[in-house]
Amino acid sequence: MPSSHLILCHPLLLLPPIPPSIRIFSNESTLHMRWPKYWSFSFSISPSNEHPGLISFRMDWLDLLARQVRWSCMPISFRIFHNMDFFSSLLLGVSFSRREGSVSWACNIPWRRKWQPTPVFLPGKPHGQRGLVGYSPCGQLISDQVAEIVSKYDPKVYSIKYNNQLATRTAQAIFDDSYLGYSVAVGDFNGDGVDDFVSGVPRAARTLGMWFHIGRTIYDLPKISIYYFYCIGIICNFLCSMAAYFGFSVAATDINGDDYADVFIGAPLFMDRGSDGKLQEVGQVSVSLQKASGDFQTIKLNGFEVFARFGSAIAPLGDLDQDGFNDIAIAAPYGGEDKKGIVYIFNGRPTGLNAVPSQILEGKWAARSMPPSFGYSMKGATDIDKNGYPDLIVGAFGVDRAVLYRARPVITVNAGLEVYPSILNQENKTCSLPGTDLKVSCFNVRFCLKADGKGALPRKLDFQVELLLDKLKQKGAIRRALFLHNRSPGHSKNMTISRGGQMQCEELIAYLRDESEFRDKLTPITIFMEYWLDYRTAADATGLQPILNQFTPANVSRQAHILLDCGDDNVCKPKLEVSVDSDQKKIYVGDDNPLTLIVKAQNQGEGAYEAELIVSIPLQADFIGVVRNSEALARLSCAFKTENQTRQVVCDLGNPMKAGTQLLAGLRFSVHQQSEMDTSVKFDLQIQSSNLFDKVSPVVSYKVDLAVLAAVEIRGVSSPDHIFLPIPNWKYKENPETEEDVGPVVQHIYELRNNGPSSFSKAMLHLQWPYKYNNNTLLYILQYDIDGPMNCTSDMEINPLRIKISNSQATEKNDTSGGQGDRNHLITKRDLTLNEGDVHTLGCGIAECLKIVCQVGRLDRGKSAILYVRSLLWTETFMNKENQNHSYSLKSSASFNVIEFPYKNLPIEDIFNSTLVTTNVTWGIQPAPMPVPVWVIILAVLAGLLLLAVLVFVMYRMGFFKRVRPPQEEQEREQLQPHENGEGNSET
């Protein structure tokens, strides 16, 4: 079986690529290759028949910087199984371990242009006194005894032969370029008591990666122990992504305490999809938990940062926290702030590895061009400072540092808290408040501590203990229990505990507040205890401080319940019901009248504590208040609030709401339409309490439909409404130019008013005006004006004769009693002396009419639109002989209809109406106003004088006319001065 010799060198020494000018002399027994300026390498083939194919290596280093050589080279020899063409892809690595501590090297000799380093393997104590070499990519593992390696070491000899080497056979062709031996670990994986080997194969299975489990068997023969390697199995990473470098690092330790070694395999280039669905390189560690049957259960642990290379190094730590389960460190050498590197500490547990790291170590280095790579190599499970806990060494080759992390001693604390009695009777008042005679209901609080730990810990440990009563109450809320000695809900105490001693306890007395001071009687009173260790006094001589066991809670709580009138079990089960009704079945949009809901709340079960009526109101409603003017309705205390964007009215129903309680209350709401799509409003009502069982009533919904009601009216008036002919001083003019040339002004005013409550958005107003009769003009329109949201058009030209409009009268839109109207306003038919002829009605049915059409915009409740039509009575028409001594009634008519509302989904009825405006024209003599009779004047004067006399008499009787003069004599002035201290002057 051929033998070879390996040159050991620094694991991170990067050699230059092989230049094409290398010369290989194959016709001699020695092959020679030379790299100009850097190094030369030579090896020879031994023609011995005993060891055919024995290969020896010798390396001469030339012109290397001192910085590049960190460890001196050490030659060793080992057995390999190969043929001569294996040199085409050789990459070697070695590591070995000693019983006390460990030393590791790896040597990588690239035979291709591309450099690929082999990670250092650091086996621990259980691996015995053998070293382990990993071959990659040719696929071979080699082991030798460390004692022999150390004893035969000679720096003057470049090639040393060893006698107790073990090696695997050359891997099959399918393992070419798969890097078997890239990472190695040792552990008993078959239960035979002999350590087996695990090797990572990161480029196997078409770069999916696998790990290779290799067993070892011992045969004891006289004078020699023979070791054989045999294949146990190959576990491929089919669940890992391609090119994730699954097997980049491997480690073995019993993580779940079942006495079976578990395997950790790193895949630092693993990619997973993030929250955005895109692939991200996060790294992954596969944990293969060994079962009693020899099978493995694999769980996955993904990295926490992108491009951090999570899983590049894995180091067993031993039992850091002394909980009986081994722990492990996993490195992400390019994670953390500025990619300086992170090491995660994971704790073991019965079910496997805790997925949440218990501690994170971060590299702290100054910024530089090369990343520190903190965590690229690690070694643990060794107690360096001899404090009974394993420590961890982390390498950061980018900054030429190795960092020692000392494990802190773990202190396990057992805390106890006891509250008695646990049922608190508010009526049983056995204690008195200090300094008062006030009796209160008391209970006892007993708290205890016990501490223990391994390692160099002081005998006495100082703790600070804090107690808090009614812990669950929010800050600022009334706490229902207080300590008796300080009348406060909190208490602090410094306690000194003997390590490993008995439980140390203390006791305090607490009391309940008076029941009138708080509402919550149902929720348990939580007594909370929390403690802290004084780390400063517990530190050792080097200043290393212990730590509390993180898996033991640093607080404890207990509960006490207030005794309730709820039967023997002290558990109240109410039966809550709610109903609602209203006398309003419809709500008209825009109506200001409030909606009143009559709510009936009742409890047919046991007491309901902190019972409240919850009314969820829609956006279209606003809470006004509670009906208080009815003796039949309860005057509840209600408040509006918003919770989770839900608008609610909360009413107090009692604490407790006792069994058999029935309450009838009235709630008022104003309702309006929030949007055009609203057709109804719905109120949800429910009774809620703080009871544990049956604490709410069924939800009852009350729905009220929305409706439209718009009381639109039209009214008109004529100013003046009566005109008398003949008109004094009027003369006919053939071409009239001014209003006086035509006749008196007649104005018709139309008002379209919306009395609500709902609004409308569009209406049409049609006006018909008596314009001509028998080709004679009746009312000549000068102009029309509008007031409000209205636009008008006419079917004829207005004021075609261009008669000038009087400025004074043009501005008087609303003057209904000016001009001639003033003279005729008080004249009635019975005051007139005229010829009783027929009254001729001239409306649109007889006379020719001018039409005015107006479009009216939105009118809300109480708003109106007004149309002013200013015209002149064409006097010439009525002064004709055939028209004299006749009475005429000139009538204009206006009608409207509402055609659009701003409520698209509500049913709407047709709204329309009309009106007539009449102007009477009468021939007659206007009588002179009658004078006031003399007796009326005399009677008015006498009545005034009598009233004045009565008023003077009353004022006289009240002393109004009495004169107040200033004192004239000295004695009168002294009487007006105040006396001292309210006593009179005896001498006066």
pLDDT tens for residues 46-67? Answer: 333 333 333 333 333 323 222 2
State pLDDT tens for residues 357-387: 999 999 887 667 678 999 999 999 999 988 8
Cα 543 from Cα 387, distance rounded (Å):
13
Q: Name the residue type at position 302.
A: N
Of the candidates 55, 76, 81, which has an alpha carbon nearest to the alpha carbon of residue 139?
81
Cis peptide before 155 (omega within 30 of 0): no
State pLDDT tens for residues 897-938: 999 998 888 888 899 999 999 999 988 755 556 788 888 899
Predicted confidence at residue 232, as pLDDT, reads 41
Of the candidates 586, 588, 815, which has an alpha carbon nearest to the alpha carbon of residue 718?
815
Window from 577-586, 668-677, 785-794, 896-905 with minimum mean pLDDT? 668-677
Confidence category of residue 494, pLDDT binned at 50, 70, 90: very high
Q: How long a stretch of residues is the chain? A: 988
Predicted confidence at residue 969, as pLDDT, reads 62
Longest dimension (CA), the chain: 172
CA dihedral for 932, 937, 939, 943, sign (positive or negative): positive
What predicted TM-score, i.e. pTM, was given to this entire model? 0.50
Residue ranges of E strands in 592-645: 595-603, 611-616, 621-626, 637-643
Q: Name the residue type at position 836.
A: E
Stated as kind and residue range, the H or E segment containing 785 is strand 779-787
Please write down the HEC assignment for all residues of 436-498: CCCEECEEEEEEEEEEEECCCCCCEEEEEEEEEECCCCCCCCCCCEEECCCCCCEEEEEEEEE
Predicted confidence at residue 112, as pLDDT, reads 29
Residue 90 CB-half CA count within 13 A: 15
Confidence category of residue 166, pLDDT binned at 50, 70, 90: confident
User: What's the rounded mean pLDDT across residues 532-551?
Assistant: 90
- Give the rounded percent of residues in the chain with a pLDDT score beyond 70: 74
Pairing of strands 839-842, 776-777: unpaired
Whether the predicted pLDDT of 455 surpasses 70 = yes
Confidence category of residue 599, pLDDT binned at 50, 70, 90: very high
Whether the predicted pLDDT of 815 surpasses 80 = no
Phi and psi, residue 894, nearest 5°: -135, 135
Q: Specify the residue for token string 């009635």.
A: 828
Residue ranges of E strands in 86-195: 92-97, 102-103, 130-135, 140-145, 166-167, 183-187
Predicted confidence at residue 96, as pLDDT, reads 33
Of the candidates 843, 857, 851, 720, which has an alpha carbon nearest to the alpha carbon of residue 786?
857
Predicted confidence at residue 812, as pLDDT, reads 52
Cα 781 from Cα 871, distance rounded (Å):
4
State pLDDT tens for residues 206-240: 676 666 566 654 433 333 333 333 334 445 444 45
User: What's the rounded mean pLDDT across residues 150-156?
Assistant: 81
286, 280 in Cβ contact below 8 A? no
State pLDDT tens for residues 261-277: 999 999 999 999 988 88
Window from 154-168, 405-419, 594-608, 705-719 with minimum mean pLDDT? 154-168
Cα 696 from Cα 687, distance rounded (Å):
6
Tell me which DSSP letter residue 160 carries. Answer: -
317, 380 in Cβ contact below 8 A? yes
Predicted confidence at residue 392, as pLDDT, reads 95
Name the residue with higher pLDDT: 48 or 593: 593
Whether the predicted pLDDT of 31 surpasses 70 = no
Tell me which DSSP letter residue 644 carries. Answer: T
880-906 burial code (b ≥16 CB/10 A, e <16): eeebeebbbbbbbbbebebeebbbeeb
